[in-house]
Amino acid sequence: MSSKRKDFLLILVTILFISAILFGIKSTPKERNKVFLDYFDTVTEITIVSKNDKPIRDCENYLKKMNEELSADSENGLISRYNKGESVEFSKDTKELIDFSKTFSVENENYFSIYLDPLIKAWDIKNNSGYIPDVDDALLKCEKKDTLNLGGVAKGFVTDKIIKILKSHNVSSALINLGGNTYALGKKPTGESWHIGIKNPKDDNGIIGIISAENLAVITSGDYERYFDLDGMRYHHIFNPKTGYPADSGLHSVTVISDNPTICDALSTAAFVAGLDDGWELLKKYNCMGIFITDDAVYFSKSLENIFKQTDFSYKYEFLY
C-alpha cells in the first residue's frame, strides 16, 4: 500500500471517529447528506442538511475542477503547467485567488509567499527520508517569482466558494472540512452549535479544546501534519520564506478563527512562521481570533472565552489578547 493511500485511510478513519462523536446530526436520512472526497492531497468531508443531494454534487464538481486547476504537483494541473512555462488560461476564481495571494504575500513578505514552489519541491517533505536540500539554490529560484504554489491558501479559498454554492441552494446548515480547514455554516438541526476539535499537536488522537462554531471558519496549520525527523530535529512543511528552512518559531500549531476562510488559511500559515508575539499582531491586523500552541501552553483570544472549551489540562491555558 502506498504511503499516500495509508495517509488517506488514516485521515478518513480519524474523521469518521471524530464526526461520530462531535459532528453528529440528529436528523432523518432524507435530510442528511455526507460525502468524503480525496482532493487537495487530503480527505475532504462535506456534511449538509438538505432533502436532496444536488448541493453536495455541485460542491463535489467544484472541488474536482479547482483541484485540477490549483495543483502544483499533478502533471495536468494548470498551476503545474504554468510553472513549466506553458501558456494557460485560469478561471475567474483562480485569478481571484492569485490576486489575493499576491497582495497577501506583499503585505506579509517576511512570513508568507506564494513563490516558494522551487523550495517546496527541493525539500519534498512528503517523500523526504532524511536529507537537507540545497536551500540557497532553491531560494534563488524562488526570487524569480516565475512559479506559483498556492498550498498555503487554496483550501481556505475553496471552502469559501463551497459555502457560497451551498447558500445558493438555500442550505443553512452544513459542516465543511478540507483536511483540517473547517467551516461551520449555521447550526446543527438540533439548534446546537457545531463542535470543532482543536488537535493536540503532541497526540495523534487527542484534542486540546473544542470550538462551538456558527458561521465561522476554524483553520489550523501545524508542524505535525507533514514532516520528517533528522538528528533530533523536526523538519516540517511550513517554510520561512526568508531562510528557506521549516519555520522555527517556537510554535507547534496556530488556529485562526473568523468568518473568512481565505484569510484564516493564509493567516494560519503566516502566524505560524511569525511566532507567538508577531503572530498575534498579524491576527489583530486582520481582526481574527486565534489559538497558538507551544510546548506547554495554549494561548487564545479572550473573545473565544465563551465558545472555546478547554479539554487537556496538561497544558497551561492563557488569554493573550
- The strand order across the sheet containing 194-199 reads 194-199, 207-213, 308-310
How confident is the model over 115-134, as pLDDT tens digits?
999 999 999 998 887 889 99
Give the mean model confidence (pLDDT) for residues 259-263: 98
Among 18-27, 159-168, 251-260, 264-273, the range scoring the smallest mean pLDDT is 18-27
138 vs 67: which has the higher pLDDT: 138
pTM: 0.87
For residue 36, which of 50, 47, 24 has the smallest C-alpha distance?
47
Q: Parallel, antiparallel, or unpaired: how do β-strands 194-199 and 181-185 relate?
A: unpaired
How confident is the model over 35-76, as pLDDT tens digits?
666 666 667 888 888 888 899 899 999 999 998 899 988 888
Start-to-end C-alpha separation, the chain:
46
How confident is the model over 266-310, as pLDDT tens digits?
999 999 999 999 999 999 999 999 999 999 999 999 999 999 999
Contacts 24+ apart (CB under 8 A), 82-88: 82/147, 82/148, 83/117, 83/146, 83/147, 83/148
Lookup: cell for 312: 487537556
For the chain, give every domain's residue range.
3-319
* pLDDT for the residue 23: 43
Q: Which CATH number fits domain 3-319: 3.90.1150.10, 1.20.1260.10, 3.10.520.10, 3.40.50.2300?
A: 3.10.520.10
User: Does residue 8 have a pLDDT over 60?
Assistant: no
User: Does residue 20 have a pLDDT over 70?
Assistant: no
* pLDDT for the residue 43: 73
